[in-house]
Amino acid sequence: MMEPAPVFADGVDHERLTAQLRFILETDKLKRVLRRNLLVDGSRRENDAEHSWQLTLMARLFAEYAPDGTDIDRVTEMLVLHDIVEIDAGDTFLYDPQHAASQSQREHAAAERLYAILPDDQAKHAHELWSEFESRTTPEARFAKAIDRLAPMLANWHTDGGTWVQFGVTKKQVRDKVAIIAEGSAALGSYAAALIDDAERRGYLTGE
Amino acid sequence: MMEPAPVFADGVDHERLTAQLRFILETDKLKRVLRRNLLVDGSRRENDAEHSWQLTLMARLFAEYAPDGTDIDRVTEMLVLHDIVEIDAGDTFLYDPQHAASQSQREHAAAERLYAILPDDQAKHAHELWSEFESRTTPEARFAKAIDRLAPMLANWHTDGGTWVQFGVTKKQVRDKVAIIAEGSAALGSYAAALIDDAERRGYLTGE
């Protein structure tokens, strides 16, 4: 692991700041974790760090489509942190059942290692937020997950079907993702359903 | 400009959602705006979108180093939006005085065009947040700017001097940036000063 510069700052708890900096250096690796989907201009695959930024932007702009009382600041913080486990666990393609089967175990081990780099109080907070996101037990987690599922649909639609075409994804498989979006936001779920219908008309999705 | 899919979602204001989606598609270009500094592993230059993500992470983790009462959620939202002007204006290298002279004009024109893609209320909000960030008139803006200045220092220190060495940056030039960090956070300013002293000892910065 990369070590922060061996310097001391006046009036700052050195051990605590060092742990925080170590986490920032370690999570810089998120910029090198590639996802399957392309940028919307089709030029290259997207990485997890820029994906995470885009989700926070979408969460702020689409706040009005979250159920009343949803705390968008918690949603934002969740999205900033949500993909960090992929530094160890790798990106799991949504439509790869074999890889998905081991995903939970790999991601939990990753969360154990990565969040523990932080000072204890921040490690606990980050780990809890990530667990909440994964289990979708709150409106915030369901809305964050809806945004996370919608983003690659936009990328696929704008790149002539993108990973749907590349991996022969079926309409039924995508409809399961639409259901997850609808659980987080009725409006975004309705938009995702319309988008998938259109993608089918264009031949981006296979039969079933 | 890329147009969103021509589909209608039930119960959603189509014109409004289309404007929001148009903004998301347009700002996807932030992933292709390259900065001067490298990733901390030195493997390649960083882009603005992944940089923006990292700043939001740092803002959350370093919240305790902001002045009492600083609203970290506003800081986070500011950082999500702050670099979008660079889609039109390009990244301005901090130590390039010629380019910097025209920066303000280029960025204001960019803000005019880009934020106006959003529905009016969101355009106004985003533009105001960006202006606040640039003018550093609030604790939130000063803290956001401090984080924005600190991040490339970390990258430079971890890449054997990075852009400091590449462009022959002087200690005095970097000290001006340290002052901006200290205005946003005494603790982070103190850390940045110690980091710069260490960088000088290592020969990463030239004489004056």
**C-alpha span between B23 and B30 (Å, rounded):** 12
Candidate from A8, A30, A193 with C-beta closest to B194: A8
Q: Which residues of B137-156 are buried (b: 16+ CB within 10 A; e: fewer)?
A: ebbbbbbbbbbbbbbbbbbb
**Given an 8 Å threshold on Cβ–Cβ distance, is A190 in contact with B6?**
no
| A8 occurs within a structural domain | no
**Residues in chain A within 8 Å Cβ distance of B60:** 77, 80-81
**pLDDT for B178 beyond 90:** yes
Preferred mutation among B15, B22, B34, B80 to probe A, highest tally of A CBs within 10 A: B80
pLDDT digits (tens, 9 = 90+) for B141-165: 999 999 999 999 999 999 999 999 9
Preferred mutation among A28, A55, A128, A195 to probe B, highest tally of B CBs within 10 A: A28
Lowest pLDDT segment from A6-10, A87-91, A114-118, B94-98: B94-98
| A36 occurs within a structural domain | yes
| B9 occurs within a structural domain | no
**Given an 8 Å threshold on Cβ–Cβ distance, is B11 in contact with A50?**
no
Mean pLDDT of chain A: 95
| B102 occurs within a structural domain | yes
Candidate from B5, B17, B50 with C-beta closest to A50: B50
For a pLDDT cut of 70, what percent of chain A falls above it? 100
The token pair at A114 is 């990565």
CATH number at residue B178: 1.10.3210.10
Residue B93 has a pLDDT of 77
Q: How many residues does chain B have?
A: 208
Closest by CA position to B81, among listed B19, B36, B32, B144? B144
pLDDT digits (tens, 9 = 90+) for B30-66: 999 999 999 999 999 999 999 999 999 999 999 999 9
| B3 occurs within a structural domain | no
Q: What is the mean pLDDT of residues A107-118?
A: 95
**Given an 8 Å threshold on Cβ–Cβ distance, is B154 in contact with A118?**
no
**Residues in chain B within 8 Å Cβ distance of A158:** 2, 25
**pLDDT for A208 beyond 70:** no
Neighbours of A51 (CB within 10 A): 28
**Residues in chain A within 8 Å Cβ distance of B7:** 191, 194-195, 197-198
**pLDDT for A96 beyond 80:** no
Expressed as residue numbers, the domain containing B140 is 14-201
| B44 occurs within a structural domain | yes
Q: Note the pTM of the prediction, 2 decimals.
A: 0.96
ipTM surpasses 0.85 = yes
User: Å from A170 to nearest chain B CA?
Assistant: 20
Q: Which helix (H) or strand (E) holds B128?
A: helix B120-135
Q: How confident is the model at residue B208 (pLDDT cuts 50, 70, 90)?
A: low
Sign for the CA dihedral angle at A119, A121, A125, A131 comes to: positive
pLDDT digits (tens, 9 = 90+) for A15-57: 999 999 999 999 999 999 999 999 999 999 999 999 999 999 9
Candidate from A12, A30, A53 with C-beta closest to B190: A12
Q: How many domains does chain B have?
A: 1
| B123 occurs within a structural domain | yes
Q: B102: burial class by Cβ within 10 Å (0-12, 13-18, 19+)?
A: exposed
**Given an 8 Å threshold on Cβ–Cβ distance, is B58 in contact with A24?**
yes
